[in-house]
Amino acid sequence: MAASSIPLGKGVKRKRHEDDGGQAAAEYTPQTFHCGTLLDISLLKLHQNCVLAERNLHRSVLIANTLRRLQAEIRWENGHNTMPSEMPLQPPEQLTSGANQLEPLSKMGEEITDLNNNIAKAPPPSLIEAPFCLLSGNDSSLSSAISTILQDLDYVEDLSTPLGQAPPEDDHLLPLKPVSPDPRPEPRSLDSIFTAFEIADSDDFLIDGSLDAIFEDIDTSMYDVPQGFPAGACPTIQPNKASRGIHSAKPHNSRTDFELENLMDLLVG
Amino acid sequence: MAGVGVVGGSGGANDLQWCFSQVKGALDEDVAEADIISTVEFNYSGDLLATGDKGGRVVIFQREQESKNRPHHKGEYNVYSTFQSHEPEFDYLKSLEIEEKINKIRWLPQQNAAHFLLSTNDKTIKLWKISERDKRAEGYNLKEEDGRYRNPVRITTLRVPVLKPMDLMVEASPRRIFANAHTYHINSISVNSDNETYLSADDLRINLWHLEITDRSFNIVDIKPANMEELTEVITAAECHPHQCNVFAYSSSKGTIRLCDMRAGALCDKHSKFFEEPEDPSSRSFFSEIISSISDVKFSHNGRYMMTRDYLSVKVWDVNMETRPLETYQVHEYLRSKLCSLYENDCIFDKFECCWNGSDSAIMTGSYNNFFRMFDRNTKRDITLEASRESSKPRAILKPRKVCTGGKRRKDEISVDSLDFNKKILHTAWHPKENIIAVAATNNLYIFQDKVN
């Protein structure tokens, strides 16, 4: 595809190169799919992610956001004329540097602040318009999909940490973040997946103990012996390993030897 | 390079042609998970090329100098050093395994005979010193030659140790270990232009480190909400400005880029510039957000532009214009109609990287079926090439590839449905000065060079 300096979708058709030989234009046949199927797929992925040892937060966030859109779509399809007002909203005047705002799925025309308190755009009308919906299932299949969601969300809720448990403040440097309003039951259980990523006292190990503060201006990492969990540098890995066992036997000599080796390093280059 | 199109194409007397140069890695069809290359990076001079893999190993290739003995091997990259950078660990607090996979390697500018690089897995960053040793000291006073200590009482004379030549040995030693600063998975590291600091970014935080200090780092960005239930956006990549040591950029999973100035405050949650392209309502779908998630952000060498990679396209931004990208290049638009399948098989979450050439006139990124794409910003030409064993004859010119999206399929074209989505090129690198590129295809590293007509 040719480079384009025109923003996408501004009414300009992208054309193939002239020298392509007049081949038939690209046929983009969008895949039709059931919302319910997508919901099932998304939930399965989310559960797999929670179970996986890796616990990819990025992936979980993307899938969860997709799920929220699907939920909104299904709700609209079920005859809700208004936008889902139960979705948790952050008041625009609330300065939450660092707090994430939800997708602007709120009432039409209302200004929503995003990650850095910028006014986000109004939700695109295409999300709620009929032509956008690719559903082809009937009401009963939707109901069963929703039931599946609720059951699965209950399952996820059991596995996660108790709801309403606010994570501890992370760092004294950070501004205090305002408490969010009570979320709805459904997104709460969906969101509880993220509470599983919360680690209690996660940053305790970032703050040194009082004893270490005495030495905070001295980098002693070069002298740390790699036992268990090294906090600094390791001694140089020498190609000749014969002397390694001797170091532990005579500690006073090991330091002298280490200094000597450093000197030799300098000489040898 | 003036006047020469960097991207080859059909016709054009001055067009570049890319040739196969080398391929590294096992030839076996069975690919060991540990051998999958996870990062590729040239150093500042281009003489060294580092790769990291899922097994936590780093392999450094060095470009051979021209020599009379081996005239045909000028410019070949051969193994210089191999070492185990990271080992798998177990976090007992969370009962989670920490992968040893090398997420990123970044070279430090060379300041003496030794080379330094930063390598990182999900949790820990390490500074490695790669140095050559061709002399050794003999005749210690306190030690025997085999390393045993001599009884100091018995030493009656002193001598000066003598330097004797030895076979060249390349040593890699960990000089610093920067640990315990990231709760979430590290996705980026970037060395600052001040040569003293570097930043590391995970899903929710960005930290600034001093290269000499391992026991503390400064948190400069934190997007973690007070209530994790509100989390809808994560940090996907971050990079320091190449010249302005106070400026850095980070991208998000919602397709936005924020430029921050560290002089503004200790915490850079308020951005200086906010880059976002308005979404096209006609192409909006359930997958719009996922495909808009930025997987890589790179400043141009001159610092005037930024390049971002999302799932289907590469965009070049002027750092002075926040409203829309300067240029947009479609990498594989034919996949837009397949997003549902790609969501199902998880390919939609693949994180492709992108890179600039040395003069910022061309950009490169990977795709599926071992295809990779190059775009010339001046001529607006683009080309699709393939990293395959079939076209791996020495100095063989790479033939442009084409994907057929519908209608009649020409002989040399491949249809979208025939693409192999397991063969993905996520990591590529471009030599900082010459037209030499390194392309990682699963467990193989391909090196291609130019051949000017």
Q: What is the pLDDT at residue B230? A: 82
Q: What is the pLDDT at residue B152? A: 86
Above 50 in pLDDT, residue B268? yes
Average pLDDT over residues B13-21: 78
Percent of chain B at pLDDT above 70? Answer: 95
Are the C-beta atoms of B373 and A66 separated by less than 8 Å? no
Are the C-beta atoms of B250 and B234 separated by less than 8 Å? no
Above 80 in pLDDT, residue A188? no
Q: Which of B212, B274, B279 sits opposite A116 (nearest CB)?
A: B274
Tokens of B440: 């990682």
Q: At what angle do helices A139-159 and A35-51 cross, to 10 degrees?
A: 10
B328 or B271: which leads in pLDDT:
B328
Average pLDDT over residues A22-50: 64
Residue ranges of domains in chain B, CATH in brackets: 18-450 (2.130.10.10)
Q: Which of B97, B229, B344 sits opposite A53 (nearest CB)?
A: B97
How many other C-beta atoms are found inside a 10 Å radius of the C-beta of residue A55?
A: 16
User: Cβ A170–B224 below 8 Å, yes or no?
Assistant: yes
Average pLDDT over residues B31-50: 96
Q: For B399-449, what is each residue's pLDDT tens digit? A: 999 999 877 778 889 999 999 999 999 999 999 999 999 999 999 999 999
B150 or B29: which leads in pLDDT:
B150
Q: For B245-260, what is each residue's pLDDT tens digit? A: 999 999 999 999 999 9
Q: Which of B96, B149, B231 sits opposite A100 (nearest CB)?
A: B231
User: Cβ B222–A57 below 8 Å, yes or no?
Assistant: no
Q: At what angle do helices A57-77 and A35-51 cross, to 10 degrees?
A: 150
Question: Which B residues 277-336 touch A at CB under 8 Å?
Answer: 277-287, 289-290, 293, 324-330, 333-334, 336
Q: How confident is the model at residue B97 (pLDDT cuts 50, 70, 90)?
A: confident
Q: For A120-159, what is each residue's pLDDT tens digit? A: 443 443 333 333 333 334 444 434 443 444 333 332 323 3
Percent of chain A at pLDDT above 70? Answer: 16
Above 90 in pLDDT, residue B57? yes
Instruction: Using CA coordinates, name the residue in chain B closest to A19.
Output: B10
Distance between CA A43 and CA A64 in Å, rounded? 8
| B264 near A CB under 8 A | no
Rounded mean pLDDT of chain A?
Answer: 50
Cα dihedral sign, A106-A112-A116-A117: negative
Q: Which of A53, A212, A268 sits opposite B163 (nearest CB)?
A: A268
Above 90 in pLDDT, residue B306? yes
Above 60 in pLDDT, residue B133? yes
Above 80 in pLDDT, residue A221? no
| Nearest Cα to Cα of residue B299 among B350, B245, B247, B240 | B240
Above 50 in pLDDT, residue A73? yes
| Assembly ipTM | 0.89
Q: How confident is the model at residue A38 (pLDDT cuts 50, 70, 90)?
A: confident
- Residues of chain B with C-beta less than 8 angstroms from the C-beta of A26: 333-334, 405-406
Q: Which of B181, B230, B327 sits opposite A102 (nearest CB)?
A: B230
Question: Which B residues 32-61 touch A at CB under 8 Å?
Answer: none
User: Cβ A194–B229 below 8 Å, yes or no?
Assistant: yes
Above 60 in pLDDT, residue A90? no
One DSSP character per residue, B291-329 reads HHS--EEEE-TTSSEEEEE-SSEEEEEETT--SS-SEEE
Residue tagged 């448990």 (tokens): A165
- Residues of chain A with C-beta less than 8 angstroms from the C-beta of B325: 7
| Nearest Cα to Cα of residue B374 among B439, B321, B418 | B439
